Amino acid sequence: MERAASMHVRPEETVAEFVGATKRYGEVLAADRIDLRIRRGEFLSFLGPSGCGKTTALRMLAGFETPTDGTVLIDGQDVSAVPAHRRPVNMVFQHYALFPHMTVEENVGYGLRQRRPRLSRREIGDKVAKALATVRLDAFGPRRIWEMSGGQQQRVALARAIVNEPKILLLDEPMAALDAKLRGEMQRELLDLQRQLGITFVLVTHDQEEALAMSDRICIMGKGRIAQIGSPQELYDRPATRYVADFVGKANILSARIVARAGGTAQAVLGNGAAVTVADAPGDARGEAEIAVRPEALSLAPSGEAPGPGVAAVAATVTHRTFLGDHTEYLLDAPGVGALQVNVPRQAERVPGGHGMGASVHVIWPEGAGLVLAAG
Amino acid sequence: MAMTRSRARALLLTPAGLWYAAMLLLPLAVVLIFSFGERSQIGGYAPGFTLEQYANLPARFAAFRNTLTLAPLGTLASLLIAYPLAYYLAVKVTPKWKTMLLVLVIVPFWTSILIRSYAWIFLLGGKGIPAFLAMFGLEDVRLLNTPFAVLVGIVYGYLPLMVFPIYVALEKLDKRLLEAAADLGTPPWRAFLQITLPLSMPGVLTGSMLVFILLMGEFLIPSILGGGKVFFVGNALVDLFLQSRNWPFGSAVAVGLVLVMLVTVGLYTRAAKRFGAGRDDAALM
């Protein structure tokens, strides 16, 4: 299946929009002035730890929560005061919320049966059959819900939502209850489904791998606010803040003194006096800042070996090593800098069998690896 | 650990088994034997084998008729009053008030039904509600000693038995199902009919069964509020065993009641199964 559906769509067309959307429960700010445009046909994820406001954002889109301030728009229309049952969106609930007193096909056809004017029985039957085929549950229509496994129940929940052809499909941690293997399968299936249907998907998850694997764009939430929004690569390569760098992937976060900056790069001096060249934060002018560098951006050399020209080297001792097959995770102690993690691919090991515990090494910091983090 | 499953099961069921054998089957057998006997000269039971007692059953037709109209009617009235109350308690009320209101539902049980029914004699009697209605020009309203009075007493006495099973069923209803219904385009009132009501049926069935079975054997409320004019099979039994001491006929009436009960409850269960088919929480008998 080619990536057809999203291609037909004008790239920047907005299907839904949050404008200063705020949700307050007494003293608690669950969502704080959220501004966000959701593009038609994209796969957008809200990612963050529990209590970050991601679920509140989704529920404001579904209509289960009314914003205390600000507005939510769907297709350009202010739906802030429109109840859930009149919104053109459908949700796959965290624990599926399937109706236990109905069969699989009755569950899937439920939304169609609510339409007024009524759809004909035949039309409903056809659509239900098609939706069940889409989630590969063709033969399961007459089954009872409790006869279905967790993975099957999730497919039923999915079919029950997509059969209504919603403008946006909302997914509230849909894979949280599945085991790891099933989760991987389900992720691929969801992506295929999204390409096939061309519907906008909005996913809420606390699982960064899930968000990275599936999303066109990720909206990282923290304390009710949007911390950063961008493609998975952008967030991984250019995390704006320490919060984002910490949350997406692993990062070494170090304090540094910025001694020079030009053309988007900055010269940073680490605690042990080593000077490294990193990408700068736009518009930043601080003398002291935190810098972040990914473990796989660094490499290790035996301390006897001289580092090449233009390459910074930080003296360190190996404190832990974890062999993970294709690569080894080294935890190091660098005097004056602190703890560092470096991931070395197997074929890039400079010492046969890798560096041992307690070995003295140089952490090689290539020019341009790492970046200055914005405050906050 | 060495105990097998079947031995454990036998041990667990022994006390209840013995109890039922001694307290239910044995008396039932005695009643059955009595019902084929004759009344002795001084009352009570004289051995014999005759179907005469059963042939006399039509003489008590009115008692059976009253029981079989007022018991279902009372069950229905209790249900119609209990459901909205249980719904309010389970869904609408804030947790702070919930416990207190639940206690209020039970409080009447702390006093004997006898005393409470006597209170209704006053309320329904000439100086009670009828006197109040008379102030608005509704003269000569008779309430006491009517089927209505018995119905009022029934609903009053049995309401908590109906409220609690329904309350429990509504309480454990997953509220996310209602969100799912709304998400799929269902307005709240329709979601009630399509989701809440069917899923609370186990509670409704349990409550109705409890009230109905107990009502079939009721005698206190009809004798107090029915004033001898509206009497149940239970009253006939009290009369036959304690007043006229016609034990064989009383036993035949009792057997008749058991049979009627078996048939009605059997029909009810069959109808009820269609609601909860296959569901383990359906709480059917």
Q: Are residues A209 and A269 in the same domain?
A: no
Q: What is the pLDDT of residues B122-180, one digit of tens each?
A: 999 888 898 888 888 888 888 899 999 999 999 999 999 999 999 999 999 999 999 99
Q: Are residues A328 and A201 in the same domain?
A: no
Alpha-carbon gap, residue A375 to A326, rounded angstroms? 35
Query: Would you give the DSSP letter of residue A276?
Result: E
Q: Are residues A85 and A192 in the same domain?
A: yes
Choosing among B172, B173, B179, B184, which should be mutated to test the A contact, i.e. which has the most A CBs within 10 A?
B184
Rg (CA), chain A: 25
Alpha-carbon gap, residue B205 to B271, rounded angstroms? 10
Q: H or E stretch including B88?
A: none
Q: Are residues A211 and A312 in the same domain?
A: no
Q: A90 — contact with chain B (CB < 8 Å)?
A: yes
Q: Is a pLDDT exceeding 50 seen at residue B279?
A: no
Average pLDDT over residues B102-114: 87
Domains (ranges, CATH) in chain B? 61-175+201-282 (1.10.3720.10)
CA of A62: which chain B residue's CA is closest? B183
Contacts of A275 (CB under 8 A, 6+ apart): A259, A267, A268, A269, A312
Whichever domain contains A285, its CATH number is: 2.40.50.100
Asked if B204 contacts B210 with a C-beta cutoff of 8 angstroms, the reply is no
Q: Are residues A258 and A363 in the same domain?
A: yes
Asked if B211 contacts B74 with a C-beta cutoff of 8 angstroms, the reply is yes
Q: What pLDDT sits at residue B278?
A: 43
CA distance A176 to chain B (A): 17
How many beta-carbon contacts under 8 Å exist across A and B? 58
Q: What is the pLDDT of residues A139-189, one digit of tens each?
A: 999 999 999 999 999 999 999 999 999 999 999 999 888 888 889 899 999
Last residue within a domain, chosen from A242, A263, A286: A242
CA distance B163 to chain A (A): 22
Q: Are residues A275 and A291 in the same domain?
A: yes
Alpha-carbon gap, residue A357 to A364, rounded angstroms? 18
Q: What is the pLDDT of residues A223-260, one digit of tens each?
A: 999 999 999 999 999 999 999 998 999 999 999 999 99
Q: A55 — contact with chain B (CB < 8 Å)?
A: no
Long-range own/partner contacts, residues B106-111 (CB < 8 A, 24 or more apart): B106/B160, B108/B156, B108/B160, B109/B160
Q: Is a pLDDT exceeding 70 seen at residue B7?
A: yes
Q: Are residues A255 and A298 in the same domain?
A: yes
Mean pLDDT, chain A, whole residue set: 92
In chain A, DSSP finds a helix count (H) and a strand count (E) of 8, 20
Q: Is a pLDDT exceeding 80 seen at residue B44?
A: yes
- Do A111 and B177 lie within an 8 Å CB cutoff? no
Last residue within a domain, chosen from A242, A259, A275: A242
Last residue within a domain, chosen from A242, A263, A290: A242
Average the pLDDT over each of A66-75, A280-289, A354-363, B115-124 and give the range with the smallest value: A280-289
Q: Are residues A303 and A168 in the same domain?
A: no
Q: Are residues A217 and A279 in the same domain?
A: no
pTM, rounded to two decimals: 0.84
Task: Give the E-state strand segments of A26-146 in sequence order.
Answer: 28-39, 43-47, 69-74, 77-78, 89-92
Q: What pLDDT sits at residue A376?
A: 65
How many domains does chain A divide into?
A: 2
Average the pLDDT over each of B60-64, B113-117, B164-168, B246-250 and give the range with the smallest value: B113-117
Whichever domain contains A150, its CATH number is: 3.40.50.300
Assign A278 to helix, strand or coil. strand
Q: Are residues A121 and A260 in the same domain?
A: no
Q: A115 — contact with chain B (CB < 8 Å)?
A: yes
Q: What is the pLDDT of residues A20-58, one digit of tens each?
A: 999 999 999 999 999 999 999 999 999 999 999 999 999
- Do A85 and B182 lie within an 8 Å CB cutoff? yes
Closest Cβ opposite residue A111 in set B174, B185, B195: B185
Alpha-carbon gap, residue A98 to B176, rounded angstroms? 9
Q: Is a pLDDT exceeding 90 seen at residue B4?
A: no
- Do A85 and B180 lie within an 8 Å CB cutoff? no
CA distances for B123 relative to A370, B131, B136, B223, B227, angstroms: 86, 10, 17, 16, 15
- State the alpha helices, DSSP H only, in chain B: 5-20, 26-35, 52-55, 61-87, 95-106, 113-124, 129-134, 147-171, 175-183, 188-191, 197-199, 201-216, 220-225, 233-238, 247-276
Contacts of B264 (CB under 8 A, 6+ apart): B68, B212, B216
State the residue range of the domain holding A261. 250-372
